[in-house]
Amino acid sequence: MNGYELISKIADESREEMVARRRDFHKHAETGWFEMRTSSIIAGILTDLGYEVLVGEDVCDKEARMGVPSDAELEKGYERAVAQGANPDFIEATRGGMTGVIGILRCGEGPTVAMRFDIDALGVFESAEKDHRPTAEGFASINYGSMHACGHDGHGTIGLGVAKALMAVKDQLHGTVKLIFQPAEEGVRGAKSIVEKGHLDGVDYFVGAHLTKKTEDNPADFGPGSYGSLATCKYDVTFHGLAAHAGGAPQLGKNAMLAAATAVLNLYAIPRNGEGVTRINVGRLIAGSGRNVICDEAKMEIEVRGATTKLNEFMSEYAERILKSAAAMHDCTVDIRLMGSSISLDSDRDFCDTITKVCTEKMGLVPLADPSIRKNGGSEDVAYMMQRVQEQGGKASFMRLMTTMAAPGHNRRYDFDESVLPKGVKAFAGIALYLLGE
């Protein structure tokens, strides 16, 4: 049996174990920076397999994390993780939202291959309807308001399957494997802090993947790459004014609501850009304290996007100018807090060809029909990792793992066909063996 056959055998034989693990992650869904139970369990499994394991402050640069919840919320999350069966050997390291795990396998001289698996859930209330399979089969989220509605429970599970498969062929590997279990992908908050910590420095090949919906009649198992996700910035904006009596002395107030309202209308008036598509959205606005009080505080959640990093910068700079000017018009001040960001991603075409070759010829998987490399419509912070690798002369790709889904991503009835789990292991582990074994 050669290495590829051994990987396939292990992937197929691990199917039940992976389904159970995926369902355990699903049931104990944790949103960004709360993945403390999840991280502790991943760290325990990687350690048992024989990996060198990084946890806590060794994974993410603490200050570069974006959109981190309050200390009080994180402490509650920590207590919940402990109560829900976190691994006691690793949970302490994750306290305060220092989530994420990196497993390293060193096999002598050779290139470094990094593979990324995101592990966070979404702030979605999972369906309790009886025909929603996770509910019917008892693995719906018990953490009300947190749900794996984007398949990252599958991503983390595939990563652990890859760890097991690669350990079994490690005598055939020449180089280093880094398995990155990334926190806080939702809201594009986590990847940059891993890059800032230096974990992508010196990486020669990088692969990430996302589960993607396929139709019942489509035989494809994977797409070797994708391109063109939107660059984006997410901001929490707070206008500060001064409260005053609305009847007695309104002239003494500084109206934060007026500043915010001025900003909303003008944000949507940012001109189109001839270089490509852009987006602006004000998703939330909360202002004021009562009918007869001049409003002293207004909070907004906004985001901008652009087809390229440059277009996104155009949007963010314009938006910032509007926010500051709107505040100044009404003698208010404004705090603009970056809560998440990503650049645009692009997969290396020649590397995608290599991936297609390995996944089809060595692993027996079916590629997407032409065009096999497709445009990514959303935003993905894996782009930061890819960019760091590519600017050093390395190759990177963000794949698709195709599977049927019960509902679209981010929907409360989301679920996926778990037969993708062993296929994902075959794809990732086969690529690593090819890059380090031949």
Q: Is 150 or 300 the residue whose CB approaches Zn ion more closely?
A: 150
Q: How far is the CB of 351 from Zn ion (least distance, A)?
A: 22
Burial class (CB in 10 A: 0-12, 13-18, 19+), 47: middle
Residues 255, 308 contacting (CB under 8 angstroms): no
Measured CA to CA in angstroms, residue 142 lies from 25, 42, 123, 397 at distances of 11, 20, 13, 35
Q: Is 59 or 150 the residue whose CB approaches Zn ion more closely?
A: 150
Q: Is 150 or 294 the residue whose CB approaches Zn ion more closely?
A: 150
Q: How far is the CB of 240 from Zn ion (least distance, A)?
A: 35
Q: Is 278 or 379 the residue whose CB approaches Zn ion more closely?
A: 379
How far apart CA 25 and CA 31 sit, in angstroms, is 11
How far apart CA 66 and CA 63 sit, in angstroms, is 8
* Contacts of residue 370, Cβ cutoff 8 Å, sequence gap at least 6: none
Q: How far is the CB of 421 from Zn ion (least distance, A)?
A: 16
Structure tokens belonging to residue 121: 């859930």
Q: Is 296 or 303 the residue whose CB approaches Zn ion more closely?
A: 303
How far apart CA 189 and CA 64 sit, in angstroms, is 9
Q: How far is the CB of 3 from Zn ion (least distance, A)?
A: 30
Q: Is 120 or 348 the residue whose CB approaches Zn ion more closely?
A: 120
Residues 60, 96 contacting (CB under 8 angstroms): no
Measured CA to CA in angstroms, residue 425 lies from 18, 222, 262, 363, 433 at distances of 10, 12, 51, 10, 12
Looking at this protein, which amino acid is placed at residue 214? K
Q: How far is the CB of 184 from Zn ion (least distance, A)?
A: 11
Q: How far is the CB of 79 from Zn ion (least distance, A)?
A: 27
Structure tokens belonging to residue 119: 């592990």
Q: How far is the CB of 417 from Zn ion (least distance, A)?
A: 17
How far apart CA 192 and CA 154 sit, in angstroms, is 22
3-state SS, residue 296: coil
Q: Is 121 or 169 the residue whose CB approaches Zn ion more closely?
A: 121
Q: Is 150 or 383 the residue whose CB approaches Zn ion more closely?
A: 150
How far apart CA 136 and CA 171 sit, in angstroms, is 43
Q: Is 150 or 355 the residue whose CB approaches Zn ion more closely?
A: 150
The residue nearest Zn ion at its CB is 150
3-state SS, residue 395: strand
Residues 336, 237 contacting (CB under 8 angstroms): yes
Residues 227, 376 contacting (CB under 8 angstroms): yes
Closest by CA position to 147, among listed 119, 117, 125: 125
Which residues lie near Zn ion (CB under 5 A)?
150
Q: How far is the CB of 150 from Zn ion (least distance, A)?
A: 3
Q: How far is the CB of 152 from Zn ion (least distance, A)?
A: 6
Angle between helices 256-267 and 309-329 (to 10 degrees): 150
